[in-house]
Amino acid sequence: MATVGRVLSGEGITEYPGKLTPFVTITCIVAAMGGLIFGYDIGISGGVTSMDSFLEKFFRDVYKERILNSPKNQYCKYNSQTLTMFTSSLYLAALVSSLIASTVTRKLGRRPSMLLGGMLFCSGAIINGFATALWMLILGRLLLGFGIGFTNQSVPLYVSEMAPYRYRGGLNFFFQLSITIGILIANVVNYFTSKIKGGWGWRLSLGGAIIPALIITSGSIILPDTPNSMIERGQDPHEEAKIQLRRVRGVEDIEQEFQDLVAASEASKQLKHPWKNLVQRKYRPHLCMAILIPFFQQLTGINVIMFYAPLFFNSIGFESESSLMSAVITGSWNVLATVVSIYGIDRWGRRFLFFMGGIQMLICQKLKASQLKK
């Protein structure tokens, strides 16, 4: 299936020949599996912290409050700073590591960053699965967070650079799809491990994170580096990057695209103060939108549902098993919506999906507000 890449130049539009080869498709899908790491952990923590055996072992105060005061107060059963520390430590670590990951990805390449993230995640999953004390849980969560910081920074960039122009949006969405699949898998795992007799099912849930970690770790070893990264890191001569670009595009005629990649790399190196240039007046609208769109997406509260779905349903009166099943249903709808987006992103465009998502959120918020008034 042939396609072309396009770039604006001083002489008009330059078209790059290329194909959506099986090699590129498999490479992008394997790399996008890094999203399983993030998705699995988003879904796993809420389900684990709703299991009585887990709370009794590590958070006895929460366990007593839940058992003794459950009929009296449905809303403050999980009010615990240590429990909050267990959950939030991962995201704080991911925030810190993401600041370092950009430098590692640029200097060493996309693959080493993905490999480091996968190894850190493997270590965190093992420690959490065998945890016998609270400090082990926190340490494991910190390692998981460092791993997420590296993979979430490098994987989307890797997929963007490997994918052909016309199919870049769809292939990039495989990363988001793998996140939603990871959430769903975590919810399903929690549902079944909660039924294990002896109260050790939470170990399988936490330790199961090693499976997506091994996928991205092994994938980063066998996957090739991107031509963009090879040129950016100044490999001279550029013959290896040329060979790789031919392999990725599936055609022999890659000279124009290759020269443009080299020129773009050289131009970026000439920028002595990139952050200073970014805040210039002409770039401010783009910068503001790039920051505000994800910022307000977080403020909608969707992450509360994704992270704490079982706790949320349990706190409003659902039984433990029912709350876990409700999380599975929520995760299934999330996957379905992502599949629809993958189908439509290159047909309907990013702007259309953005507006549709916003309209749906407004409708749901209105319905929720009307129910609260009742």
Tokens of 71: 């009929």
Domains in the chain: ranges and CATH: 33-223+301-349 (1.20.1250.20)
Please give the pLDDT value at position 222: 82
- Give the containing element (helix H, strand E) for 221: helix 210-222
pLDDT of 194-228, one tens digit each? 888 888 889 999 998 888 888 888 888 888 887 77
Residue ranges in the chain modelled with pLDDT below 50 = 1-13
State residue 339's pLDDT score. Answer: 81
Q: What is the pLDDT of residue 4?
A: 40
Prior bond of 71 cis (ω within 30°): no
Query: What integer pLDDT is reported at residue 136 of this predicted model?
Result: 92
Six-digit token string for 295:
């910022």
Q: Using a cut of 0.75, tell me whether the model's pTM lies above it.
A: yes
Element (H, E) at 27: helix 22-32
Please report the pLDDT score of residue 10 as a whole number.
Answer: 43
Among candidate residues 80, 121, 47, the one with its CA nearest the CA of residue 318: 47
The token duo for 246 is 């031919």
